[in-house]
Amino acid sequence: MQTQHSYWLAFKSVYAKDVTLAFRQRAEIVNPLLFFLIVITLFPLAIGPEPALLTRMAPGIIWVAALLSTMLGLDKLFRDDYNDGSLEQLIASPYPLSLSVLAKVAAHWTVSGLPMVVLAPLFALLMNLESQSLNATVLTLLIGTPLLSFIGAIGAGLTVALQKGGILMSLLVLPLYIPVLIFATSAIDTSSMSLAYGGQLAILGAMLAVAIVAAPIAISSALRVSVS
Amino acid sequence: MLEIDAVTCTKQDRCLFDSLSFTLHAGQIMQIEGPNGAGKTSLLRIIAGFARADEGQIRYNSTDIRDDYDSFAADLLFIGHKTGVNQQLSAYENVQHWLMVHGAQADEEEVYTLLAKLGLIGLEDVPVRTLSAGQQRRVALVRLWLNQAKLWVLDEPFTALDKKGVAMLQTQFQSHLDKGGAILLTTHQDLTAHFAQLQTLALEYRL
């Protein structure tokens, strides 16, 4: 055995563990996507398949569905590690907890956010979204879904020690998603009027930049409180 | 090496221990005894830095562990009731993952040899959830052979282990002590091996 300190190896190991586990239990990846799809298909059924109406509502529906399906995987993000003691091992490791947390959030996004970004054009088609809005939808999801994972992980960290933390976490986290929702849907709306939507994207990007730096610190403090 | 200075812990209005002080030097092993609910696990979790003491300080090499937790963690090996072994991964994957997040590397052969030594031969690549309780614990205890931590904090390490496993563990304790390490453990069983530097701390159940 050799000691070799490498932040990158530790990051990669935590990331690979979570992604491997998700692929072994494929339902974890597929179910949120199916949920996303079903929520989106419910709307035309409920409000009528009028193309003009759907086009108007599409950005909002896609984004609300994305919010809700991100929530599905969040409860499990730290739950297993908390229950089996892996979280304690991560705390008692020579690496900062925020590094492991960053890897875990990245893994969560890879299995929950990224498939949504990839499948977004298909869902946009279901909602009769105009082609000029398609780019905006994919871009907002690309910048916005990692943001959802970061914000959600703070709630997941705070509630991991509670027996039935799922609902409480949703109540904590959903209000924090409002700014993301506002700027993302506004970007898609603007693009449907063929206007420049760079401003909204820039704000989302700025929020993501802050989240990458600050959220791992907040999440690791939340986890320390939960573990103690 | 490790100084516990006037540590007090209160849980649900019950004082578990108050102004508890002791010192653990390199090469020493300390066994914490006491009935269920006496606060053994709470004490170990405070020493490992997971929980905060209501009062008092834990010093490692004369520095408060809260001031420089990461370097304390580099010298600490903690195995608790919850061992940190993932049920879905195999024994081999668990060991490799643990090594990576603790800044160590071991080649495949070394890990397989160790797993075989601990009686997990042929079980290295099946998900840990299919193993028995004792075998799952052995997967966690492989860490005792694969670390360079100076301080071992072990909460009930002998749980679910058979007699042979207990003996093997104590041999490993002795070799750790010989290398200048220190061990702090809780157990309800008496240690069967003889340790020259054994100290015992008895916690009593307080009302």
Q: Side chain identity at B172, as an amino acid letter?
A: Q
Average pLDDT over residues B133-142: 90
The pLDDT value recorded for residue A193 is: 87
The mean-pLDDT minimum among A147-151, B125-129, B162-166, B197-201 falls in B197-201
Q: Which residue has the tokens 């009930």?
A: B156
Rounded Cα distance, B207 and B11, in Å: 11
For residue B14, which phi and psi values (nearest 5 degrees)? -115, 130
Q: Which residue has the tokens 């969560």?
A: A108
A39 token code pair: 């929520």
Rounded Cα distance, A10 and A104, in Å: 11
Instruction: For residue A108, give every residue at least 6 positions away whose Cβ sits within 8 Å of its Cβ, in sequence order, or none.
Output: A18, A73, A74, A77, A149, A153
Average pLDDT over residues A195-209: 93
Whether the per-residue pLDDT at A201 is higher than 80: the answer is yes
Rounded Cα distance, A78 and A161, in Å: 10
Burial status of residue A178 (CB atoms within 10 A of its CB: 0-12, 13-18, 19 or more): exposed
Whether the per-residue pLDDT at A119 is higher than 80: the answer is yes
The pLDDT value recorded for residue B202 is: 83
**CA dihedral for B117, B122, B128, B132, sign (positive or negative):** negative
Whether the per-residue pLDDT at B193 is higher than 80: the answer is no
Among the listed residues B198, B180, B199, the one whose alpha carbon sits nearest the alpha carbon of residue B22: B199
Rounded Cα distance, B9 and B7, in Å: 7
Average pLDDT over residues A160-184: 90
Rounded Cα distance, B138 and B127, in Å: 14
B16-72 pLDDT, tens digit per residue, is: 888 888 888 888 899 988 888 888 888 899 998 888 888 888 888 888 888 888 888
The pLDDT value recorded for residue A211 is: 95
Rounded Cα distance, B47 and B45, in Å: 5
Beta bridge partners, B125, equal none
Which chain A residue shows the shortest CA-CA distance from B151? A92
The helix/strand/coil state of A182 is: helix
A73-103 pLDDT, tens digit per residue, is: 888 889 989 999 999 999 988 899 999 999 9
Average pLDDT over residues A141-149: 94
- Residues in chain A with CB shorter than 8 Å from the CB of B74 are 94
Q: What confidence tier does A1 reach under pLDDT thresholds 50, 70, 90? A: low
A210-224 pLDDT, tens digit per residue, is: 999 999 999 999 999
Rounded Cα distance, B118 and B108, in Å: 16
For residues B94, B96, B100, B102, the Cα torsion angle rounded to the nearest 10 degrees is: 60
Q: What is the ipTM of this complex?
A: 0.89
Q: Side chain identity at A223, as an amino acid letter?
A: L
- Do the Cβ atoms of B101 and A21 come within 8 Å? no
Average pLDDT over residues B162-187: 89
| Gyration radius of chain B's alpha carbons | 17
DSSP labels, A190-212: HHHTT---HHHHHHHHHHHHHHH
Rounded Cα distance, B183 and A200, in Å: 57
Which chain A residue shows the shortest CA-CA distance from B129? A84
- Residues in chain B with CB shorter than 8 Å from the CB of A25 are 88
Among the listed residues B181, B111, B174, B187, the one whose alpha carbon sits nearest the alpha carbon of residue B151: B181
Q: Does B159 touch chain A (CB under 8 A)?
A: no
Nearest to A94 among B73, B89, B110 (CB): B73
**Contact present, A192 and A133 (Cβ < 8 Å):** yes
The pLDDT value recorded for residue A179 is: 93
Q: What is the pTM of this model?
A: 0.91
Helix axes A114-126, A27-47, angle to 10 degrees: 20
Measured CA distances, A19 to A15, A22, A109, A144, B89 (Å): 6, 5, 10, 20, 12
Rounded Cα distance, B115 and B139, in Å: 8
Q: Does B198 touch chain A (CB under 8 A)?
A: no
A34-70 pLDDT, tens digit per residue, is: 988 898 888 888 888 888 888 888 888 889 999 998 8
A19 token code pair: 């992604």
- Residues in chain A with CB shorter than 8 Å from the CB of B144 are none
- Residues in chain A with CB shorter than 8 Å from the CB of B110 are 1
Which chain B residue shows the shortest CA-CA distance from A19? B89
Average pLDDT over residues B132-144: 90
B81-117 pLDDT, tens digit per residue, is: 888 899 999 999 999 999 988 888 888 888 899 899 8
DSSP code for B90: B
Burial status of residue A179 (CB atoms within 10 A of its CB: 0-12, 13-18, 19 or more): middle
3-state helix vs strand vs coil in chain B, percent to 5: 30, 30, 40
The pLDDT value recorded for residue A59 is: 87
The pLDDT value recorded for residue A210 is: 96
Instruction: For residue B168, give every residue at least 6 positions away whose Cβ sits within 8 Å of its Cβ, in sequence order, or none.
Output: B118
Rounded Cα distance, A67 and A152, in Å: 10
Average pLDDT value for chain B = 88
